[in-house]
Amino acid sequence: MGAGTWESHHAITALMFRYAELMDAADFDGIATLFAAARITNEGVDGAIEGADAVRKLYERTNRVHDDGTTRTRHVNANVFVDIDEAGDRASARSAFVVFQQTGALPLQPIVSGRYRDTFARSDGEWRFDGRHIIVDHVGDVREHLTFDLSSFVDEL
């Protein structure tokens, strides 16, 4: 794998950044479409989420939507490194993320950070997510964002 073309790099990073935009908007249908052909896994959690319906249900079940219809978060994806196999229509990327949140009960602050390990496939000239592995490194106050205790999934904080 290598650097690939600018067009491929742009298309892949646009997918990564689109996820952040959809999460902040609580657009779980959009996330389901984005990952419809992908497999989502989490470090330290058995199993995988596959298929648009399963992805939508996961996000609806685990994320709080506030009165304004959003998650009241800002997902920032940074330090993106992309490796592209143009001939094989495959790519991988690694990146870091930080989620900030502010609500009536929570001042603006980072609430979680970690890493994404993504894979992509190109079909009919279009790049799509093939897989996402989520690694949570740091957990702050996620009570206004998630419906479960994320710290129970992190081995060492």
The three state secondary structure string of 66-77 is CCCCCCCEEEEE
User: What average pLDDT does the structure give for the chain?
Assistant: 94
Condensed to tens digits (0 to 9), the pLDDT of residues 31-65 reads 999 999 999 999 989 999 999 999 999 999 999 99
Classify residue 1: in a domain, yes or no. no
Classify residue 39: in a domain, yes or no. yes
Global pTM value? 0.92
pLDDT band at 156 (very low <50, low <70, confident <90, very high): very low
pLDDT at 148: 85
Residue 101 clears pLDDT 70, i.e. is over it: yes
Residue 149 clears pLDDT 90, i.e. is over it: no
pLDDT band at 153 (very low <50, low <70, confident <90, very high): low
**Structure tokens of 63?**
């994320």
pLDDT at 157: 38
Residue 118 belongs to domain spanning: 6-153
CB within 8 Å of 99: residues ≥ 6 apart: 73, 74, 75, 76, 110, 111, 112, 113, 145
φ/ψ of 20, rounded to 5, equals -60, -45
pLDDT at 3: 77
Q: What is the CATH number of the domain that holds 24?
A: 3.10.450.50
Residue 23 clears pLDDT 70, i.e. is over it: yes
**Structure tokens of 56?**
């939508």
Q: For the chain, how many structural domains are there in total?
A: 1
pLDDT at 154: 55
CA 101: distance to chain centroid? Answer: 16
Residue 138 clears pLDDT 80, i.e. is over it: yes
Classify residue 51: in a domain, yes or no. yes
